[in-house]
Amino acid sequence: MNTFDSLLKTQPSLNLQQTGQWFVIRCTPDPYTSERFNIGVAGMDANGVRHAKVMEDPGRLKCLYGESAANIIALAHVAKRCALAGEGSPSTQIEFADPSPFYNSNLPEFLNAAFEQQVTAAIPIKEADARTRIDDDGALRLVSDCIRKTLQLAAEEILTDTPFLSFDTPRGKRSVYAPFVTRDAVGTLKSTDYGAETVRTHLMDAVLDMEFAARFGKKQRQGLFILRPPMPKEKEAQQIDRALDTVLFRAHPILHVEMESTVDALAERVIEWANAA
C-alpha cells in the first residue's frame, strides 16, 4: 500500500498527471487559547468527485477536553458535510486549509493515507481486544456492494451516485446524507460501531436528514437502516442500546427503521423497503 509520504512526494516532473486536490480540516476548540489541531482531510478528484474523512470518535481528545470532546466530533461531522458539498467552513472554529495537488493516486486512497499521517489525534488508544470497526462510510460500501451483487444493474434504481443530496432552500443550498433514493422514498444508513455519544449524534443527524430530504425532495417515505455489529463488551452494548432508544423513541412514526447485525441482512431490508409500494 502506498504511504502518504510516497503519494505526496510524487511530482509532476515525472510526467504524471495531477489527479486532484486535497486539504486539511483544522479545529480551534477554544478561541482563547488558539490551540489548533487537525480533525480531518478532504479533497476533489479530476472528475469533480469529492471525498472527506474526519474524526468520528473522541478517543484521545477526551484526555484533553473531557466531555467537551463530543462537541469537537460534532463540529468535525458538520465540516465533513460542508466539504463534501463544496461549501466553505461552517464555523469560525473550523478552518479549511489551502488546497494542494496530488498525483498518480485515486482520492480515497490518498485521503486514507493523509488522514493517518495528518490527524494524529484520531490514533486510537490501544486495547487488548482491539478489533476492526465499521464506520458509516464502511457500512455504506459493504451494504451497497451487497445490493449491487443482488440486483446487478437494477441496484442503480436505489443507490445514488453520491451519498449526499443537495436542495435549494430559502436559506441557500443544503446537503443531506441520503444514499438510498427511489421514486417515492429516501433513505440513509448508519453504523453503531462508535462510542455511544457519537452514535446518538449520528442518529439524530440521520432523523433530521430524512425529514429534510422528504420535505424538499417531495418523498412520501423515509428509511433509516442501522448496521449494528456485535459488541464484545456488555457495558458498551448497553450504552449503545440507550443511545438508540434516546433517538428512535422520539423519531416521527413515518420514519421506517430497520436494524441488523450483518451486512447481508441489512442489504435485504433496504431492497425490501425500496420495492414496497
The count of other CB atoms within 10 Å of the CB of residue 242 is 11
Strand 185-191 and strand 221-227: the pairing is parallel
Q: Reduced to 3 states, what is the DSSP secondary structure of residue 120? A: helix
Contacts 24+ apart (CB under 8 A), 235-240: 236/196, 239/195, 239/196, 240/192, 240/196, 240/199
Percent of the chain with pLDDT over 90: 44
- Going by C-alpha positions, the residue among 90, 101, 106, 72 that lies closest to residue 2 is 106
For the cut 70, the answer to whether the pLDDT of residue 124 exceeds it is no
User: In this structure, what C-alpha cell is assigned to residue 181?
Assistant: 433514493
Q: Reduced to 3 states, what is the DSSP secondary structure of residue 83? A: helix
Amino acid identity, position 125: I
User: In this structure, what C-alpha cell is assigned to residue 227?
Assistant: 448496521
**76 vs 71, 227, 233, 274, CA distance in Å?**
9, 22, 27, 31
Model pLDDT, residue 243 = 92
Domains belonging to the chain, first-starting first, are 4-122 (no CATH), 136-275 (3.40.1350)
Q: Is 0.85 topped by the overall pTM?
A: no
Read off the pLDDT of residues 24-59 as tens digits, 9 standing for 90 and up. Answer: 999 988 777 778 889 999 999 988 888 999 988 776
User: 103 pLDDT band (50/70/90 cuts)?
Assistant: confident
Q: Which residues pair with 159 in a beta bridge?
A: 180
Residues near 80 by beta carbon (within 8 Å), at least 6 away in sequence: 25, 40, 42, 52, 53, 54
